[in-house]
A and B are shown apart, each in its own frame.
Chain A
Amino acid sequence: MKRRVRILAYSFIFLALILLTQRGLKYILMDDVDSYTRVMLHELYHSPENIDVLFTGSSHCYRGVDPRVVDEELGVNSFNAGSSSQSIDGSLAMIREAAKHHNLKRIFLEVEFNTCLEIPFHDRSQLTSTYILTEYMPFSPDKLKYMLRASSIEKYPNTFLPLGKYKGMTEEIRRIPDILERKQSEEYRNYGYVNNSIERYYGKGYVGSEIRMDGTGFVSGEPYCELNLHNFSKDWRRTIHVIGDFCRDRGIELAFFCAPTTDFQLVGVENYDEFRRRFRELTSDIGAEWYDFNLCRSEYLPLSDADFMDDNHINQYGAEKFSRLLGRFLAGGIKEEELFYDSYAEKREKEGEGIFGIIAQEDREAHAFSLSAVSDAPDNRLSYEVFTLPEGEEKPVRCRDRGPEQTVSYPEGESGTLIIDVYLEGKEEPYRGCTLYGGASQESLRLLDEDVEED
């Protein structure tokens, strides 16, 4: 008996020491000095004012909705609890956490097709989006439930051990002193707002970027795939209903919304309206409104390439426009039927033809590109003109005269920036997109402020 007690005691001490050393090592090795989520969760838990309205969802949410602007229009205290690739169970966890600390009146859950059409939780191989939330949540039965359901049991060691969640946590040993120094700084300890070269945390969960896409245009090396509507997993459906029940039980008004993305993406996926129809079917019994700002009339939300930081996230200029409109709309300043088209097809039909981006597929062996414009105009009304700007050169060189052919070759052994102008019949101004060719480095992408002059 005595021996058994001793063995148990030793086992307990061993486990405790493992956990203790794990914590210590995590502090030394985990580089979260630039984590927005850490700061966001701290604010959520320690906000002195009650949060009335909660926005939550993926990066489209935290980059799209600036609660400071919404508050001005709506006259309430709102908060953005979005996080990177936040899946539906992550949203449920965030809603539960927020509801524990605040008397929420309205919740706006951002829905985006990539997070809706996710694989079943059991099959997830990457759990970073889960860990960036659980890392900063205090322990509770809700958190435990979230961690247990987020994956198959195979991932539990990563989920529950403090160390080892992030592969390549700190690749360079020599960075450890720098990480430690930054972690001991006042700014880190006081949850100072994170500001890196790309984005900045502005408070209340909003992250804004100054990057604009009007210089390079939208150019992708691969076409978008049609959305696979069978991928609304059972887990997703079950969880969205749990969120609906949770809100109903607490008297919280729930609504879904889509933050605006680019027409490049929406036209590219081809079946966005089918996605909308299927989403509505699956959520109709929850009784929540759904506001899809991709269907917004452009007179209310005039977004151009300059309002985006990439092909699916708005930048801080776009976010300012969108948040203001959202605030006004939620305050009742604009009627729903005035603001939205009934479908994306209707929007495209009413707003006129356009070019929204370019798919440029490179064949490095053949030194050629295959081009196709993402547009709602027929192909026979499009023409392409292409220039190259070789690395180290100042002047662009005409590579292909304007014409309907969709292939273009570049000189063997050369690399640089490819400038593609796509013309829509009847319009003088082309859509310009830039991409790299011949294996040029990302840093060598050069944008042209002025028109390319002919030689």
Chain B
Amino acid sequence: MDIFSVSFALFFLTAYILYYTLMRRKQWVVLVVANLVFYAFSGWKNLIFILITSFSVWGGALAMERFALKAKERRKEPGLGKEEKDRIKADTLRKKRLVLLAVLLLNFGILAFFKYWNGVLKLLGLIFNTEVQNWTLFHGASALLLPLGISFYTFQSVGYCIDIYGGKYAAEKNPLKYLLFVSYFPALIQGPINRYDSLAPQFQTTHRTGFSAMRRSLLLFAWGAVKKFALANLLSGAVSLILDHVEPETPGCMIVTGILLYGIQQYADFSGGIDMVLALSDAFGIRMAENFRQPYFSVSLGDFWRRWHISLGAWMRDYVFYPFALTKLMQGLGKRVKKRFGPQAGSVIPACVANILVFFIVGIWHGAQWHYIAWGLYNGLVIAAEDLVGMRFSFSGNSKGLRFFRMARTFLIVNIGWYFDRILDVKCEFTALKNTLFSFQPSAFLPGIRELYGSAFNEWTVCIAAVAFGMLLVTDIMKECGKDVRTVILESNPAFRWAVYFLIFYLIQFGLIYGTATEGFMYAFF
């Protein structure tokens, strides 16, 4: 079910009305049912996978908690010596580890199967120089499609399981309430990756609504739609035409144009979609995790990743980076480096290694394709290099000029990264980089744009996208200055407010009329 469709609007309105009227005392039940209905619409057969994840993680977490409680009780028994207590502790830890491992294997196994099976078939095909789909064993296997939101709900569930393992909070006793957390439909479309301890308490509370809250949600949803339909979709044709077919003779100026447009398209698409789902969740009084914080105002690549897809970055930090950095191997490495190069290097170098690993995983998570791995490694290596350089040279001061310089530098680094992300063939990526540096050909810019006119854009799409981009820039600057844009609009004088409403309405409508992109949200496929 497309979230910008009449059927979704009817589905949502039904849930919304029930949530605040008839079922006000059991709001969480409305959400569970709504989640299952929404999920069934995306392919009822996929329900099985989300149910497996929900119940395996719920059961596993509960088992781990029981082991811990039992161990606690046993250790309290009188007459136990220290040795015996340590043995119980070690025994419990082993059991918990086993359960955790089983849950992780099962859930990451399902995720890996869906995400990488097609890649495996392709690889086998290359190795054996044949169409492996024709083998009886793999018959029809290439038709695998990712179940909706599988990455997001798997990451949420695994995060919860690790938290229970670490005793961070109590496990959920009610399987349906846990299912609600895993299958919460606004988060299934393209994230964010929520944390149980932030979402679950909100599900237990009874929420009320009012005109002001409704207006705020509606404004955020509409703004997300502007970014998606009046900006991202209108740019996708030009981006495809330029970057899908990079040839040795493609001028660098056109490649740079394509990359810059792609940067805007991706940001508008992803953050627009996130705004829409945050608005839907807000309408139920549930605040989901923030996913974007004006990423193009970042002063370093590390800062960029703390502002772009925040929930993924935070998940990687808490469940991959820290656990990996705290392994005996990495701690040993830290000690050795510290001895040889000093205490600063002793903490920076293991962090560099962990960052490279994290971004390698982020690359793989995007897809089993070499260009994603290259993109992940590029980010990891640049962040590691930034940290290493930072050990020797650090810019002090907080002047506007320095900040602007850092922002420009980060913008450049991020955009180089987009070459690896967007150009699907690694060889073409290097051709594109080479042409950008050594065959820029500024005189080819206008003829190149003229060639795109008609097929990729027309006068309307340029005007609509320019207005939407202007609005995006202004809102991001305002947010960066600490202003709540929605409050500013909603508290402004009626004439200005209504002018904004009309502008938003017509940008969406004209974006839909003149847009050619028919695909959904870019991140819905991860």
Instruction: List the 6 shortest-distance A-B pairs measured between CB atoms, nearest first.
Output: A173-B459, A153-B6, A164-B513, A171-B458, A154-B6, A154-B5
Set of chain B residues within 8 Å of A157, measured between Cβ atoms: 6
The one of B463, B498, B501 that contacts A173, using a Cβ cutoff of 8 Å = B463
In the complex, whether A300 has a CB less than 8 A from a CB of chain B is no
Set of chain B residues within 8 Å of A21, measured between Cβ atoms: 502, 506
In the complex, whether A242 has a CB less than 8 A from a CB of chain B is no
The answer to whether A18 and B459 have CB atoms under 8 Å apart is no
Known: A14-B498, A18-B505, A169-B513. A156 touches B6 (CB 8 A): yes
Binary contact readout B504-526 vs A (1 if CB under 8 angstroms, 0 otherwise): 01100100111000000000000
The answer to whether A174 and B6 have CB atoms under 8 Å apart is no
Known: A21-B502, A164-B512. A172 touches B5 (CB 8 A): no
A164 to B511, CA, bound (A): 10
Interface residue tally on B, bucketed by range? 10 to 19
Least CB distance, B512 to chain A, in whole angstroms: 7
Least CB distance, A62 to chain B, in whole angstroms: 28
Least CB distance, B251 to chain A, in whole angstroms: 25
The answer to whether A172 and B458 have CB atoms under 8 Å apart is yes
Closest partner residue, chain A, to B461 (CB atom): A171
> In chain A, residues 1-41, which have Cβ atoms closer than 8 Å to a Cβ of chain B?
3, 7, 14, 17-18, 21
The one of A18, A154, A174 that contacts B7, using a Cβ cutoff of 8 Å = A154
Set of chain B residues within 8 Å of A174, measured between Cβ atoms: 459
Set of chain B residues within 8 Å of A172, measured between Cβ atoms: 458-459
Query: Mind listing 26 A-B residue pairs with CB under 8 Å?
Result: A3-B211, A17-B498, A17-B502, A18-B502, A21-B502, A153-B7, A154-B6, A154-B7, A161-B509, A163-B509, A163-B513, A164-B509, A164-B512, A164-B513, A167-B513, A167-B514, A168-B514, A169-B513, A171-B458, A171-B459, A171-B460, A172-B458, A172-B459, A173-B459, A173-B460, A173-B463
Closest partner residue, chain B, to A169 (CB atom): B513
In the complex, whether B10 has a CB less than 8 A from a CB of chain A is yes
A153 to B505, CA, bound (A): 20
> In chain B, residues 440-463, which have Cβ atoms closer than 8 Å to a Cβ of chain A?
458-460, 463
Q: How many A-B residue pairs have CB under 8 A?
A: 38
Least CB distance, B389 to chain A, in whole angstroms: 50
Known: A154-B7, A167-B513. A7 touches B211 (CB 8 A): yes
Set of chain B residues within 8 Å of A3, measured between Cβ atoms: 211
Closest partner residue, chain A, to B6 (CB atom): A153
A21 to B463, CA, bound (A): 19
Least CB distance, A255 to chain B, in whole angstroms: 39
Given contacts A154-B6, A164-B512, A173-B460, 14 further A-B contacts (CB under 8 A): A7-B211, A18-B505, A153-B7, A161-B509, A163-B513, A164-B509, A164-B513, A167-B513, A168-B514, A171-B458, A171-B459, A171-B460, A172-B459, A173-B459
Closest partner residue, chain B, to A157 (CB atom): B6
Set of chain B residues within 8 Å of A173, measured between Cβ atoms: 459-460, 463
A27 to B459, CA, bound (A): 19
Set of chain B residues within 8 Å of A161, measured between Cβ atoms: 509
Least CB distance, A410 to chain B, in whole angstroms: 28
Set of chain A residues within 8 Å of B505, measured between Cβ atoms: 18
Set of chain A residues within 8 Å of B5, measured between Cβ atoms: 154
Least CB distance, B464 to chain A, in whole angstroms: 11
A37 to B43, CA, bound (A): 42
Set of chain A residues within 8 Å of B459, measured between Cβ atoms: 171-174
> In chain A, residues 121-149, which have Cβ atoms closer than 8 Å to a Cβ of chain B?
none
Least CB distance, B227 to chain A, in whole angstroms: 19
Set of chain A residues within 8 Å of B509, measured between Cβ atoms: 161, 163-164
Set of chain A residues within 8 Å of B6, measured between Cβ atoms: 153-154, 156-157
Set of chain B residues within 8 Å of A14, measured between Cβ atoms: 498, 501
A433 to B211, CA, bound (A): 69
Least CB distance, B397 to chain A, in whole angstroms: 48
A3 to B458, CA, bound (A): 45
Least CB distance, B48 to chain A, in whole angstroms: 28
Set of chain A residues within 8 Å of B513, measured between Cβ atoms: 163-164, 167-169
Least CB distance, A362 to chain B, in whole angstroms: 23
Closest partner residue, chain A, to B10 (CB atom): A153
A415 to B502, CA, bound (A): 52
Set of chain B residues within 8 Å of A169, measured between Cβ atoms: 513
A153 to B506, CA, bound (A): 21
A171 to B453, CA, bound (A): 11
Set of chain B residues within 8 Å of A156, measured between Cβ atoms: 6
A168 to B513, CA, bound (A): 7
Closest partner residue, chain A, to B463 (CB atom): A173
Set of chain A residues within 8 Å of B463, measured between Cβ atoms: 173
Least CB distance, A395 to chain B, in whole angstroms: 35
- Max chain A C-beta neighbours (<10 A), residue from B7, B458, B513: B513
A157 to B509, CA, bound (A): 10
Closest partner residue, chain A, to B8 (CB atom): A154
A86 to B509, CA, bound (A): 27
Closest partner residue, chain B, to A22 (CB atom): B509
Set of chain A residues within 8 Å of B506, measured between Cβ atoms: 21
A125 to B84, CA, bound (A): 72
Least CB distance, B493 to chain A, in whole angstroms: 14
Least CB distance, A119 to chain B, in whole angstroms: 18
- Max chain B C-beta neighbours (<10 A), residue from A161, A164, A174: A164
A154 to B10, CA, bound (A): 11
A167 to B463, CA, bound (A): 17
Least CB distance, B211 to chain A, in whole angstroms: 6
Least CB distance, A278 to chain B, in whole angstroms: 34
A209 to B121, CA, bound (A): 56
Set of chain A residues within 8 Å of B211, measured between Cβ atoms: 3, 7
Set of chain B residues within 8 Å of A18, measured between Cβ atoms: 502, 505
Least CB distance, B448 to chain A, in whole angstroms: 21
Set of chain B residues within 8 Å of A167, measured between Cβ atoms: 513-514
Set of chain A residues within 8 Å of B10, measured between Cβ atoms: 153
Set of chain A residues within 8 Å of B458, measured between Cβ atoms: 171-172
Closest partner residue, chain A, to B458 (CB atom): A171
Least CB distance, A190 to chain B, in whole angstroms: 30
A162 to B505, CA, bound (A): 14
Least CB distance, B496 to chain A, in whole angstroms: 15
> In chain B, residues 167-213, which have Cβ atoms closer than 8 Å to a Cβ of chain A?
211
Binary contact readout A159-181 vs B (1 if CB under 8 angstroms, 0 otherwise): 00101100111011110000000
A444 to B34, CA, bound (A): 60
Least CB distance, B492 to chain A, in whole angstroms: 15
Least CB distance, A6 to chain B, in whole angstroms: 10
> In chain B, residues 443-494, which have Cβ atoms closer than 8 Å to a Cβ of chain A?
458-460, 463
Closest partner residue, chain A, to B494 (CB atom): A10
A18 to B502, CA, bound (A): 8
Set of chain B residues within 8 Å of A7, measured between Cβ atoms: 211
Closest partner residue, chain B, to A175 (CB atom): B459
A69 to B513, CA, bound (A): 42
A169 to B10, CA, bound (A): 29
Set of chain B residues within 8 Å of A163, measured between Cβ atoms: 509, 513
Least CB distance, B513 to chain A, in whole angstroms: 5
Set of chain B residues within 8 Å of A164, measured between Cβ atoms: 509, 512-513
Least CB distance, A16 to chain B, in whole angstroms: 12
Closest partner residue, chain A, to B459 (CB atom): A173
A169 to B211, CA, bound (A): 36
Binary contact readout A352-382 vs B (1 if CB under 8 angstroms, 0 otherwise): 0000000000000000000000000000000
Least CB distance, A293 to chain B, in whole angstroms: 41
